[in-house]
Amino acid sequence: MPLALFAEQVLNGLQFGVMLFLMSAGLTLVFGVMGLINLAHGSLYMIGGFICAAVAAFTGSFLLGLGAALAGAAAAGVLVETLVIRRLYARDHLDQVLATFALILIFSEGTRWVFGSFPLFLDVPDLLSGPVSLPLGIQYPAYRLMIIVVGLLVALGLYLLITRTRLGIRIRAGESDREMIAALGVDIAWLYTIVFALGAALAGLAGALVGAIQSVQIGMGEPVLILAFVVIVIGGIGSVKGALIGAILVGMTDTLGRFLLPQFFATFMENTSATTIGSSLASMLIYILMAGVLIFKPQGLFGGAS
Amino acid sequence: MTDILDVRAISKSFGALKASDNISLSLKSGEIHALIGPNGAGKSTLINQIAGGLKPDSGSVHFAGQDITSLAAPARARLGLGRTFQISQLAPEMTVLQNTVFGALGSDGRVSRFWHPVMKDKPLLEIARSALERVGLAHRSGERVSEISHGERRQLEVAVALTQKPKAFLMDEPMAGLGHGGSERLTGFLRDLKQEAPILLVEHDMDAVFALADRISVLVYGRIIASGTPTDIRSNPLVREAYLGDEGET
Amino acid sequence: MIKETDLNTAIWLLFLGVPLAAWQMGEIYTITLATKICVLALAGVGLNIALGLGGMVSLGHAAFFGIGGYAMGILASHAQSYAPIMETPFLIEGTKSMPVIWVLAIIMSGIAALAIGALSLRTNGAYFIMITLAFGQMIYFFAISWPAYGGEDGLSIYVRNDFPGLNTLVPIQFFALCFAILTAVIFLSSRLEHSRFGMALQATRQNETRTQAVGLTPYKIRLIAFVISGMICGLAGAVSADLNRFVSPTMLSWHTSGEIMIFVILGGTGRLFAPLVGAAIYIMLEHFLGGVSDYWQIFLGLLLLMVVLFAPGGVIGLLTKREAAHD
Amino acid sequence: MKALKTLMASAAVLMATQATADVKVGMITTLSGGGAGLGIDVRDGFMLATQMAGRDDLEVVIEDDQRKPDIAVQLADKMIQSEDVDILTGIIWSNLAMAVVPSATAQGKFYLSPNAGPSALAGRGCHENYFNVAWQNDNLHEAAGAYANSAEYANSFILAPNYPAGQDALTGYKRMYEGELAGEIYTQLGQTDYAAEIAQIRASGADSVYFFLPGGMGIAFLKQYAASGVDLPVVGPAFSFDQGILQAVGDAALGVVNTSQWNKDIDNAANAAFVEAFQAEYGRLPSLYASQGYDTANLIISAMNVADVDDQDAFRAALEAADFASVRGDFEFGSNHHPIQDIYVREVIKEGDVYTNRIIGTGLENHADAYAADCSLN
């Protein structure tokens, strides 16, 4: 197999992983700080995509759309947090699952009500359309490179936020001891709203970035949500570092599995069945990876000790 | 007298912190062996290693003539290690009687019965009722655990442990929060109980410890600095030194 | 306030009475709806053992429901085409006999529950929710892409399978069969709840440390409960497949898991008749709201939200005012 | 919408009074959730035709299947058992059709498919009461294969999702295509990132690409393909280039060749009337699905003109005659009740601000499906 093709696939895996990281980071942060399991995180991703598409169509500027997506998803996050989510922190996971499942129904059909049943148009900005040339003769879409860069910048930003800022100190304190930081006079309700909005904004950013190369449509968040769950289970719930490593692991496994498994089966099988069986197995690969990790580390790679 | 419980040179570290440093300890039949020490001395870690919640880094734990170092907590309980907890560990939505029946069910071990109502199981009920009688809680049988008082929960924990007919008891601060009258009553009860099975007692109530214990071991910074009769311990200079700053609290 | 046992009796009689009345009046579709409610409630009774008694929040029970369905689909389709399922090492033929199908559905879903449970129960809390969800999705994707049994198209069984002495194609007879199964399983689950095992399971939910201290292993107790729960869902899947005369990967999707969970919670987690009440309300809402607006799922979502936020004991909890069995 | 509600209301009234010789149609289609756009188009096309015909002896009951097979089955039961409909129609997806059609026809109802055409129902599973007004699933793919030959492609790279319709699609393409395959890939259903596949296309040395990726998958593929710099010609079936979807793909679709049995520029009076009336009524361009819904309704009306629905044999014969003005022009049924029709080759263009298609040729003329021989109807 040509080295360039393999290298390009590795790059694709990295890009997919980085995109998963944007989704997982918010999810894992919200879980780590508030102990909330949020199924509606995928809906915030969808909202980001729709707002970006609508604003970009109206103003003609992708960048404005992106900004609006960030702000809009964060605003939706604040709204949902204050109206619904904050009543759920003290509840068990069961209530959280059910309430956020209900939110999915409301968001999905609400979005359809506002934007209609057809997918929206959203394209990459002209500046980033088309490929760039990389070493080894790889032609790689400029926009995807940009996603990798943005994702890694967000990872760096989150790292700095958590380790270097007052907000970060409070977030870390919130993870370890909720009563303690309340006793120290930190307005915990406000902190929770900010963290939730931050997670929502990251999901919205992911939805907008990805919407430009995929499709902006109802239900676009659900497959990503489930992948994000796999990511944070592998990485360890609550750990942003775990989310980054888990996301890249899942991105690589999925991309390379889809690419290599059918070829592997084709070495000893007839072509059509090799591709069907290979891709059937490839679709299960990340779950097998997850099961493997759990056998050795039930709390994920970077989860707290049990 | 033989050693029912024998802890042999166990060590346990959490990062740089040596929570248990080469600890050896034994419990003979018919005795109460009290374990005391200031806060943070590593008592909970030690208890956890004996009960099976934590595995020591090195050393071994023997119980009733068997090496139990690698056994999990339930297996140790089945061998006859009865336990009460620092903070009550009971099923809050079940009644006092149900909790006690559950204890009897555990030592009976036949849990994979899906048909007959457990609360109509005469042998289990009998064991449970007599245990409640012994701790003086029979009149509260029908109450939910979430409704009874703190002191009653402590009594209930002892009753549940009794249903297991243990070979030894591991009691983590049974007096905590009982008040003066309650402590005195429990002191009398434990004095009788030790004839049935020896007790390893972790306790902060020094009056109770010195009134009850046949032997006392003092744990400081993960090490046993002294071990002996109450009289020995009272006069041990190392113990006095360790406790000087903490006297008010103990 | 109403006693829960009286309420249960009333619910039971109502569910028997309405379809019988509909039968008298010739309202055949009402019987079909009631049958659907019974079948979904059956899955709910299964989940309730894991969820209500055991406190295991599984978002992957659609896997067992679907496996039960596929057990029916595969056996019946082979029986229809007279092609054996396998010939080596020994011959396995398809069958159209419901009792045989049920037994196999229960066994297959039990094996799946054992495998998924053994891995998932190594974790707890949020991990458990996400892992069961992920395993469910794994089986879902497998079912879609594996071409042998229809993939996403599913499998159609043109005629219902046979039950000795009944004509299962007559709606009221099939309803009677489903209702009888549901009643039997509810009875079984009530026996289980009060048995030795039921006590151990509930105690484990309430305080795991206590279970260990009395000498029992929480992992084993949970795993057994998870398997029983999966088996009942498998049975429900097989019956549901017979109701629809059709199986497809949709049975395995995580939305199905969510819906089964909604039945239980809508009714009141941990209560014996919760799944029946919950399924009935859900199906009726789906049936009537669907005619009101294309966007009816918004209202369904809002209603669910209200129940979670303001009526944690579910509908039965509201009616009996007993505090939630689970908090 | 208003017309629809009125019709539903009148249906309810009539249900209460019972016993009329009117034709009652039960439409089960997808009106909520992700795939709702297609169902809405079929419904709107269908209702437009009934409105234009002004028939008050045709009642339509419409229900939303949520794209769930079990719901579709329940609704079919309801339509048959309590609404007592004569004809069922509306289902968009093959898997839902497979769940509903066999039992509906077995219970003596007519089923007219306005979209899905699984091979199982065209061949051995065909039924005298089942009519497909759209196409057999393979048709558009076969036309694409034929087009590839005429465009002298000799080394195609083909891909589709790994599910029955995807496997049928590639089989259909290969049935007609005579060149070599540079590669054949099955992707995951619902997959939206195709970077890995596009990289393989680039490396494969293919001279053309054929893909079947319905809905959002196709939008994602086309956009990513356009950005990748791979400039091999792409061919697809109409589903990824339909009016509803095309606006979301944008420039990435311009010039792409696709196959369809209908387009809005087919030159006949029925089509012109349809396109104009649809735009006037709903304010958007009609889609392929709308045209199929429209034809389905007109087929029913044509049969009502000559036969009583209670006389099943006569009504069936009237349906078989297909004596209606199809927006596709010539239209007839084969022996297995599937269309024999021309499949066109279209190209995506931009008219003002709107992306749409124009016909550039004919892929297959008077094309029947490959399964008719397996069908026992004759």
Tokens standing for C280? 């009935």
3-class DSSP state for residue D269? helix
Mean of the pLDDT values across residues B102-124? 90
What's the CA gap between A236 and A252, in Å, rounded?
Answer: 18
* Chains D and B touch each other (3 or more Cβ pairs < 8 A): no
Tell me whether residues D81 and C245 touch, CB distance under 8 A: no
Residues in chain B within 8 Å Cβ distance of C207:
89-92
- Say whether pLDDT at C317 is over 60: yes
Q: Name which of C146, C305, C315 to mutate to probe chain A: the one with the most chain A Cβ atoms within 10 A of its Cβ.
A: C305
Residues in chain C within 8 Å Cβ distance of A237:
126-127, 130
What's the CA gap between A25 and A151, in Å, rounded?
Answer: 10
Q: How confident is the model at residue D340 (pLDDT cuts 50, 70, 90)?
A: very high
Residue D371 domain flag: no
Tell me whether residues C153 and D102 touch, CB distance under 8 A: no
- Say whether pLDDT at C325 is over 50: no
- Say whether pLDDT at D13 is over 50: no
Distance from CA of D261 to the nearest CA of A (A): 22
Taking the CA atoms of residue C278, residue C283, residue C288 and residue C289 in that order, the dihedral angle to the nearest 10 degrees is 80
Nearest chain C residue to D164, by CA: C151
Query: Shortest CB distance from C295 goes to which of A103, A109, A288?
Result: A109
Sheet holding B199-202, edge to edge: B81-84, B168-172, B199-202, B32-36, B215-220, B223-228
Mean of the pLDDT values across residues A138-152? 90
For chain C, which residues make up each domain, given as ranges?
4-320
Q: Taking Cα atoms as reference points, which of D155, D134, D196, D138 lies closest to residue D339?
A: D134
The pLDDT value recorded for residue A305 is: 43
Mean of the pLDDT values across residues D13-38? 72
Q: Are residues D14 and D44 in the same domain?
A: yes
Portion 169-188 of D in contact with C at CB < 8 A: 186, 188
Residues in chain D within 8 Å Cβ distance of A16:
193, 195
B146 interface with C at CB cutoff 8 Å: no
Residues in chain A within 8 Å Cβ distance of C298:
105-106, 109-110, 113
Tell me whether residues C127 and A295 touch, CB distance under 8 A: no
User: Pick the residue with more confidence: D197 or D164?
Assistant: D197
The pLDDT value recorded for residue D3 is: 47
Tokens standing for C145? 């892409």
Q: How confident is the model at residue C7 (pLDDT cuts 50, 70, 90)?
A: confident
Count of the separate structural domains present in chain A:
1
pLDDT, averaged across chain D? 88
Residue D376 domain flag: no
Distance from CA of C267 to the nearest CA of D (A): 22
State the residue range of the domain holding D107. Answer: 2-135+267-333
The pLDDT value recorded for residue D18 is: 39
User: Pick the residue with more confidence: A134 or D11?
Assistant: A134
CATH of the domain at D154: 3.40.50.2300
Q: Name which of A117, A128, A145 to mutate to probe chain D: the one with the most chain D Cβ atoms within 10 A of its Cβ.
A: A117
| CA B16 centroid distance within chain | 28
What's the CA gap between B108 and B117, in Å, rounded?
Answer: 15
Residue with tokens 């009553």: B185
Count of the separate structural domains present in chain D:
2
Query: Shortest CB distance from D32 goes to which of C151, C154, C294?
Result: C294
Q: Are residues D126 and D186 in the same domain?
A: no
Distance from CA of C106 to the nearest CA of A (A): 24
Tell me whether residues A262 and D185 touch, CB distance under 8 A: yes
Query: Shortest CB distance from C195 goes to which of B89, B109, B116?
Result: B116
Tokens standing for C259? 């819906």
Residue A105 near residue C301, CB atoms below 8 Å: yes
Portion 53-92 of C in contact with D at CB < 8 A: none
D15 interface with C at CB cutoff 8 Å: no
Q: Are residues D329 and D307 in the same domain?
A: yes
**Residues above pLDDT 90, as percent of chain B:** 52
End-to-end CA distance of chain C: 21
Residue B171 near residue B144, CB atoms below 8 Å: no
Tokens standing for A20? 């998963």
Residue with tokens 């539903």: D8
User: In this complex, which chains have at least 3 CB pairs below 8 Å with chain A?
Assistant: C, D
Q: How confident is the model at residue C265 (pLDDT cuts 50, 70, 90)?
A: confident
Q: How confident is the model at residue B250 (pLDDT cuts 50, 70, 90)?
A: very low
A143 interface with D at CB cutoff 8 Å: yes
Cβ partners under 8 Å of residue A291, min gap 6: C119, C135
Residues in chain C within 8 Å Cβ distance of A283:
141-142, 145
Distance from CA of A81 to the nearest CA of D (A): 25
Q: Taking Cα atoms as reference points, which of D50, D118, D39 lies closest to residue D72?
A: D39
pLDDT per residue as tens digits for the range B12-26 = 988 888 889 999 999
Nearest chain C residue to A87, by CA: C309
The residues pairing with D341 across neighbouring beta strands, listed in sequence order, are D367
Residue D70 domain flag: yes
Q: Name which of C48, C124, C127 to mutate to probe chain A: the one with the most chain A Cβ atoms within 10 A of its Cβ.
A: C127
Residue D158 domain flag: yes
Tell me whether residues A262 and D200 touch, CB distance under 8 A: no
Q: Are residues D234 and D170 in the same domain?
A: yes
Tell me whether residues C129 and A37 touch, CB distance under 8 A: yes
The residues pairing with B79 across neighbouring beta strands, listed in sequence order, are none
Mean of the pLDDT values across residues A143-162? 92
Q: Are residues D130 and D166 in the same domain?
A: no
Tell me whether residues B107 and C214 touch, CB distance under 8 A: yes
Distance from CA of C166 to the nearest CA of D (A): 19
CB-defined contacts A:C, below 8 A: 124
Mean of the pLDDT values across residues A8-21? 91
Residues in chain A within 8 Å Cβ distance of C59:
97
Nearest chain D residue to C154, by CA: D95
Residues of C with CB under 8 A from a CB of B: 191-192, 194-200, 202-203, 206-207, 209-217, 221, 224, 325
D370 interface with C at CB cutoff 8 Å: no
Tell me whether residues C206 and B112 touch, CB distance under 8 A: no
Mean of the pLDDT values across residues C39-59? 94
Residue C142 near residue A277, CB atoms below 8 Å: no
Residues shown for chain D? 378
Q: Name which of C51, C56, C121, C130 to mutate to probe chain A: the one with the most chain A Cβ atoms within 10 A of its Cβ.
A: C130
Residue A21 domain flag: yes
**Residues above pLDDT 70, as percent of chain D:** 94
Taking the CA atoms of residue D257, residue D260, residue D266 and residue D268 in that order, the dihedral angle to the nearest 10 degrees is 170
State the residue range of the domain holding A212. Answer: 3-218
Nearest chain C residue to D106, by CA: C158
Residues in chain C within 8 Å Cβ distance of D64:
290, 294
DSSP assignment string, A171-216: HHHHHH-HHHHHHTT--HHHHHHHHHHHHHHHHHHHHHHHHTTS-B
Element (H, E) at D348: strand D339-351
Q: How confident is the model at residue A184 (pLDDT cuts 50, 70, 90)?
A: low
Fold for the domain defined by B1-80+166-250: Rossmann fold (3.40.50)
pLDDT per residue as tens digits for the range C170-229 = 889 999 999 999 999 999 999 999 999 999 999 999 999 999 999 999 999 999 999 999
User: Pick the residue with more confidence: A296 or C197?
Assistant: C197
| Highest averaged pLDDT of the listed ranges B104-108, C157-161, D3-7 | B104-108
The residues pairing with C92 across neighbouring beta strands, listed in sequence order, are C86
Tell me whether residues C134 and A232 touch, CB distance under 8 A: no
pLDDT per residue as tens digits for the range D184-193 = 998 887 788 8
Residues in chain D within 8 Å Cβ distance of C290:
63-64
The pLDDT value recorded for residue B207 is: 84
**Is omega for the bond preceding C89 within 30 degrees of 0, making it cis?**
yes
pLDDT per residue as tens digits for the range D235-284 = 999 998 988 888 888 888 999 999 999 999 999 999 999 999 999 999 99
The pLDDT value recorded for residue C321 is: 64
Tell me whether residues A131 and D202 touch, CB distance under 8 A: no
Tokens standing for C19? 């379809």
User: In this complex, which chains have at least 3 CB pairs below 8 Å with chain B?
Assistant: C
Nearest chain D residue to A8, by CA: D199
The pLDDT value recorded for residue A178 is: 65
Residue B4 near residue B168, CB atoms below 8 Å: yes
- What Å distances lie between residue D195 and A16, A141, A272, D227, D253, CA to CA? 9, 9, 21, 10, 17
The pLDDT value recorded for residue D232 is: 92
What's the CA gap between D45 and D23, in Å, rounded?
Answer: 18
Residues in chain A within 8 Å Cβ distance of C258:
101
Residue A21 near residue A248, CB atoms below 8 Å: yes
Q: How confident is the model at residue A185 (pLDDT cuts 50, 70, 90)?
A: low
Residues in chain C within 8 Å Cβ distance of B171:
none
The pLDDT value recorded for residue B73 is: 92
The residues pairing with D208 across neighbouring beta strands, listed in sequence order, are D156
The pLDDT value recorded for residue A216 is: 87
pLDDT per residue as tens digits for the range A57-96 = 899 899 999 999 999 999 999 999 999 998 888 888 888 8
